[in-house]
Amino acid sequence: MWGRPLSTVVLIGVIALVSWPLLGSRGALLFLCLMLLGLLLHHLRNLSLLYRWLQDPQSQTMPMGSGAWEYLSSHMLRMLKRQRETESRLSEALSRFQLAGAALPDAVVILDSTDRIEWCNPKAEDYFGLDNQRDRGQQITYILRQPQFVEHLSSNQAGEPLVLKISRPAGEMVLAVQQVPYGDSRKLILGRDITRWERLETTRRDFVANVSHELRTPLTVVGGFLETLDDMDPPDPEMSKRAIELMRQQTSRMTRLVEDLLTLSRLESTQNPLREEDVNVPEMLRALHQDAQVLSAGRHRIRVVLESTDWLKGNTEELRSAFGNLISNAVRYTPENGEIEMRWGLRDAHLTFAVRDTGIGIEPQHIDRLTERFYRVDRSRSRETGGTGLGLAIVKHVLNRHQARLDIQSMPGSGSTFSVVFPETRRLAAGRTPAEKVSA
CA atoms lying within 13 Å on the CB side of residue 359:
28
Q: Is 254 in the site for ligand ADP (CB under 6 A)?
A: no
Q: Which lies closer to ligand ADP via its Cβ, residue 127 or residue 333? A: 333
CB 353 within 8 A of CB 342: yes
Which residue in 69, 127, 311, 333 binds ligand ADP (CB under 6 A)? 333
Q: Which lies closer to ligand ADP via its Cβ, residue 124 or residue 392? A: 392
Q: Which lies closer to ligand ADP via its Cβ, residue 314 or residue 359? A: 359
Which residue in 190, 218, 391, 426 binds ligand ADP (CB under 6 A)? 391
Q: Which lies closer to ligand ADP via its Cβ, residue 43 or residue 256? A: 256
> Shortest distance, CB of residue 334 to ligand ADP, whole angstroms?
7
CA distances to 170, 234, 424 from 345, rounded to whole Å, are 41, 62, 12
> Shortest distance, CB of residue 300 to ligand ADP, whole angstroms?
12
> Shortest distance, CB of residue 129 to ligand ADP, whole angstroms?
40
Count residues binding ligand ADP (CB under 6 A).
Answer: 23
Q: How many CB atoms are closer than 10 A to CB 398? A: 25
> Shortest distance, CB of residue 264 to ligand ADP, whole angstroms?
11
> Shortest distance, CB of residue 359 to ligand ADP, whole angstroms?
5
Q: Which lies closer to ligand ADP via its Cβ, residue 144 or residue 406? A: 406
Which residue in 76, 377, 421, 440 binds ligand ADP (CB under 6 A)? 377
Sites for ligand ADP among residues 346-375 (CB under 6 A) = 357, 359-362, 370, 375
Q: Is 421 in the site for ligand ADP (CB under 6 A)?
A: no
Q: Is 218 in the site for ligand ADP (CB under 6 A)?
A: no
Q: Is 257 in the site for ligand ADP (CB under 6 A)?
A: no
Q: Is 308 in the site for ligand ADP (CB under 6 A)?
A: no
> Shortest distance, CB of residue 220 to ligand ADP, whole angstroms?
20
Q: Is 330 in the site for ligand ADP (CB under 6 A)?
A: yes
Q: Which lies closer to ligand ADP via its Cβ, residue 12 or residue 295? A: 295
Q: Which lies closer to ligand ADP via its Cβ, residue 81 or residue 299? A: 299
- Contact string 160-179 vs ligand ADP (x = CB under 6 A): --------------------
Binding segment (CB under 6 A) for ligand ADP, from list 136-144, 168-176, 206-214, 323-331: 323-331
Secondary structure string (H, E, C) spanning the chain: CCHHHHHHHHHHHHHHHHHHHHHHHHHHHHHHHHHHHHHHHHHHHHHHHHHHHHHCCCHHHCCCCCCHHHHHHHHHHHHHHHHHHHHHHHHHHHHHHHHHHHHCCCEEEEECCCCEEEEECHHHHHHHCCCCCCCCCCEHHHHCCCHHHHHHHHCCCCCCCEEEEEEECCEEEEEEEEEEEECCCEEEEEEEECHHHHHHHHHHHHHHHHHHHHHHHHHHHHHHHHHHHHHCCCCCHHHHHHHHHHHHHHHHHHHHHHHHHHHHHHHHCCCCCCCCEEECHHHHHHHHHHHHHHHHCCCCEEEEEECCCCEEEECHHHHHHHHHHHHHHHHHCCCCCCEEEEEEEEECCEEEEEEEECCCCCCHHHHCCCCCCCCCCCHHHHHHCCCCCCHHHHHHHHHHHCCCEEEEEEECCCEEEEEEECCHHHEECCCCCCCEEEEC
Q: Is 388 in the site for ligand ADP (CB under 6 A)?
A: yes
Q: Is 382 in the site for ligand ADP (CB under 6 A)?
A: yes
Q: Is 115 in the site for ligand ADP (CB under 6 A)?
A: no
> Shortest distance, CB of residue 222 to ligand ADP, whole angstroms?
20
Interface residues with ligand ADP (CB under 6 A) are 325, 329-330, 333, 357, 359-362, 370, 375-378, 382, 387-393, 416
